[in-house]
Amino acid sequence: VKRVFAYKLKPTKPQEAALVGYLDATRHLYNAALEHRIAVYKATGRGPTAVEQQREIKDIRRLDGWEWLADLSFNPLKEAVIQLDKSYAAFFRRVRRGEKPGFPRFKSARRWSSFTFATYGDGIKLDGEARRLYLKGVGRVRIRLHRDLEGQPRVTTICRKADGWYAHITCDLGPAPELRTGPCTAIDVGLESFATFADGSKIANPRHGRRGHIGVTTAQRTVSRRRRGSTRRRKAVNGLARERQREARRRRDFHHKTARVLVDQFATIAVEDLQTANLVRRGGAYKRGLNRSIHDAGWRQFVDILSSKAEEAGCQVVKVDPRRTSQACSGCGSIVMKALSVRTHDCPDCGLVLDRDHNAALNIYQRAWAGSVVEAA
């Protein structure tokens, strides 16, 4: 079981400059490695491997004039090359699947906001007592440890966000516990309420109000009123980024709390498999609105959080085939077609009348036990 712990960093001015130095160095290496791959491929018909490129970085570090690179930990430098290798692998995977992917691209400073230490203890170490995170070439950076680290730290990613620097430390918590037995439920996610359960109860969509903050919409309006290239516009853009981050954090918080409650209460939770849902929609005449995409992204995050909490607690999240969960009758199996605006399921064959989402949740529940499970995580 793995868990990510996120902490805010409080670097001094010189430390911040050194962190920016890491961003620049890793980005340049990524871009150089990409250029090198393209050139070698053109010349020889086969690209260099990530291992060969890592070896070259080691050699460069020994050259005169490249001492600045030697002052940094090799750990994130090597990781930049591995990241490029992963983008290549993803590119070819999509090509093989017959899709039209974009070729890995050169990264501008705006598109590069993090670097990763894959091995803990190599150029990076946390001093919990002193509340400092040591980074080679940066020094001992103050870290806000609002909660203790658990398990064995493995991978650390340092990110620059709108409101400062963060360390994301992934820890290994050991083997997963035995699966629990206990009550089961199914969840249907809708646009109207956040979730509906197999017993008919619901969780409302969170209203992310503006308590004390101006909100994304207002911040967007401010940006559009400012003259292009002006200092005030740049400030407004920063303000907008902070509002977006705040909203994302609030949503994430809501997902964490909801998942916690569910995992404490149930031993098995059935959900729709979103991957299958997307495939089905792409093939059919499904009109995919933007609100649907935003909704799916939120749902995916929630299921990820739910699954990882479930794993730690010995609870099971079961993903079922999502086809026609809202059209099929949970009482008799008849298909009762209805538009999205029709909120009640009213079956002419067996007389069942139910809230639309409750009917869907019951279908998900039944599918989980009928064995049409796509994936049990």
Tell me: does residue 67 bind Zn ion (CB under 5 A): no
CB of 198 to Zn ion, least distance (A): 17
In terms of CB distance, is 285 or 337 closer to Zn ion?
337
CB neighbourhood size of 21 (10 A)? 15
Question: How many binding residues for Zn ion (CB under 5 A)?
Answer: 8
CB of 323 to Zn ion, least distance (A): 17
From 106-114, 154-162, 185-193, 352-360, span contacting Zn ion (CB under 5 A): 352-360
Tokens of 171: 């820890």
From 45-53, 132-140, 200-208, 341-349, span contacting Zn ion (CB under 5 A): 341-349
In terms of CB distance, is 138 or 364 closer to Zn ion?
364
From 53-61, 143-151, 210-218, 349-357, span contacting Zn ion (CB under 5 A): 349-357
Going by C-alpha positions, the residue among 122, 130, 168 that lies closest to residue 149 is 168
Could you say which residues in the range 293-332 bind Zn ion, by CB under 5 A? Answer: 329, 331-332
Judge contact between 152 and 160, C-beta under 8 A: no
Judge contact between 112 and 158, C-beta under 8 A: no
> CA dist 235 to 65, 174, 190, 232, 366, Å?
37, 45, 37, 5, 53
Look up tokens 């809501």; give the residue: 254
> CA dist 70 to 23, 25, 55, 86, Å?
15, 11, 14, 25
Tokens of 277: 């849902």
In terms of CB distance, is 26 or 330 closer to Zn ion?
330
Look up tokens 């709108």; give the residue: 162
CA distance linking residue 235 with residue 252, whole number of Å: 26
Tell me: does residue 360 bind Zn ion (CB under 5 A): no
CA distance linking residue 131 with residue 141, whole number of Å: 8
CB of 330 to Zn ion, least distance (A): 8
In terms of CB distance, is 177 or 333 closer to Zn ion?
333
In terms of CB distance, is 320 or 354 closer to Zn ion?
354
CB neighbourhood size of 327 (10 A)? 16
Could you say which residues in the range 107-146 bind Zn ion, by CB under 5 A? Answer: none
CB of 327 to Zn ion, least distance (A): 11
Tokens of 130: 């002193």
CB of 263 to Zn ion, least distance (A): 33
Residues near 78 by beta carbon (within 8 Å), at least 6 away in sequence: 54, 57, 118
Tell me: does residue 349 bind Zn ion (CB under 5 A): yes
> CA dist 115 to 71, 124, 132, 293, Å?
16, 12, 18, 29
Tell me: does residue 347 bind Zn ion (CB under 5 A): yes
Tokens of 256: 């964490």
In terms of CB distance, is 90 or 350 closer to Zn ion?
350
Active site residues: 188, 272, 357
Looking at residue 185, its amino acid is T
In terms of CB distance, is 182 or 200 closer to Zn ion?
200
CB of 361 to Zn ion, least distance (A): 16
Could you say which residues in the range 229-258 bind Zn ion, by CB under 5 A? Answer: none
CB of 284 to Zn ion, least distance (A): 23
Tell me: does residue 350 bind Zn ion (CB under 5 A): yes
Tell me: does residue 354 bind Zn ion (CB under 5 A): no
The DSSP call for residue 205 is: P
Looking at residue 350, its amino acid is C
Under the rule (CB under 5 A), what is the footprint of Zn ion? 329, 331-332, 334, 347, 349-350, 352
